[in-house]
Amino acid sequence: MSARPSMESVETTAEPNGQVDGASGQHVASVGPAVAPGDSIDPDTYRQAMATHAAGVVVVTAPSDRGPVGLTVTSFTSVSLRPPLVSFYVGARASAWPGIRDAGTFAVNVLGANQHEVATRFATSGVDRFAPPVSWHRSLEEIPLLDGAIAHILCHHHNVLAVGDHWLVVGRVTGAVSVEAGEPLLYQRGGYARLHPIIET
């Protein structure tokens, strides 16, 4: 596998905002805001829209020959129950990527609401992300696990796909532990936040 994804290897196509005409098979434009496929969007507009999307914060960790590696990730999501699959995207140039790629295993550490400093540390370039005050230990498979996380999800690589300037990493879940009623750390509009339930339970 090459260290950099090929930009051509995966093309994402947006469906036009309209319906397919049964007779001609052509897409029929509908009234309303639409972005035609192939149209480009300026990066600031794209970033601004994406910043509205709130996400849970995790740190993906893996063992490597040169010590543990890891990075802060909000692109984590569940994919499938049978088989149990999860995924995240990692930038092709991320310093942690070669270690995660070569390990073939990784852990998803779901951060708790009070772990925003851990999130900042694992997103900072050129520092030892595992140095104190970060506290961690190793799983039986030698995967580094961050103490204080509200869940640890252990995975083997299931699939790795080049998508744009990122790798899509799909992991098969081999084990998981979670803290009941653990409060998650969230990220939105460039800042960390915590849950504010609409209905108190």
Ligand X SMILES: Cc1cc2nc3c(=O)[nH]c(=O)nc-3n(C[C@H](O)[C@H](O)[C@H](O)COP(=O)(O)O)c2cc1C
Closest to 134 measured CA to CA, from 59, 66, 184: 59
Nearer Cβ to ligand X, position 73 or 153?
73
CA distances from residue 175 to 11, 82, 103 in whole angstroms, order as listed: 33, 14, 17
Closest to 183 measured CA to CA, from 123, 110, 120: 110
Per CB under 6 A, which region of 30-38, 69-77, 135-143, 149-157 contacts ligand X?
A: 69-77
Determine, following the binding rule CB under 6 A, whether residue 90 of this chain makes contact with ligand X: yes
Q: In whole angstroms, how close is the CB of 192 to ligand X at the nearest point?
A: 8
Number of residues that make up the chain: 201
Determine, following the binding rule CB under 6 A, whether residue 73 of this chain makes contact with ligand X: yes
Q: What is the CA radius of gyration of the chain?
A: 19
| Residues 129, 79 contacting (CB under 8 angstroms) | no
Please pick, from the candidates 71, 107, 110, 118, the single residue that binds ligand X as defined by CB under 6 A. 71
| Residues 178, 150 contacting (CB under 8 angstroms) | yes
**What tokens appear for 37 in the block?**
């496929």
Per CB under 6 A, which region of 30-38, 88-96, 107-115, 134-142 contacts ligand X?
A: 88-96
Q: Is 171 exposed, middle or buried (0-12, 13-18, 19+ CB in 10 A)?
A: buried
Q: In whole angstroms, how close is the CB of 53 to ligand X at the nearest point?
A: 11
Q: In whole angstroms, how close is the CB of 159 to ligand X at the nearest point?
A: 17
Nearer Cβ to ligand X, position 26 or 124?
124
Determine, following the binding rule CB under 6 A, whether residue 115 of this chain makes contact with ligand X: no
**What residues pair up with 187 in beta bridges, in sequence order?**
55, 192
Determine, following the binding rule CB under 6 A, whether residue 94 of this chain makes contact with ligand X: yes
State residue 57 phi and psi, 5-degree precision.
-110, 130
Please pick, from the candidates 95, 135, 159, 188, the single residue that binds ligand X as defined by CB under 6 A. 95
Determine, following the binding rule CB under 6 A, whether residue 16 of this chain makes contact with ligand X: no
How many chain residues are in contact with ligand X, going by CB under 6 A? 17
Please pick, from the candidates 5, 57, 108, 116, the single residue that binds ligand X as defined by CB under 6 A. 57
Q: Site residues (CB under 6 A) for ligand X?
A: 57, 71-75, 88-91, 94-95, 119, 122-123, 125, 187
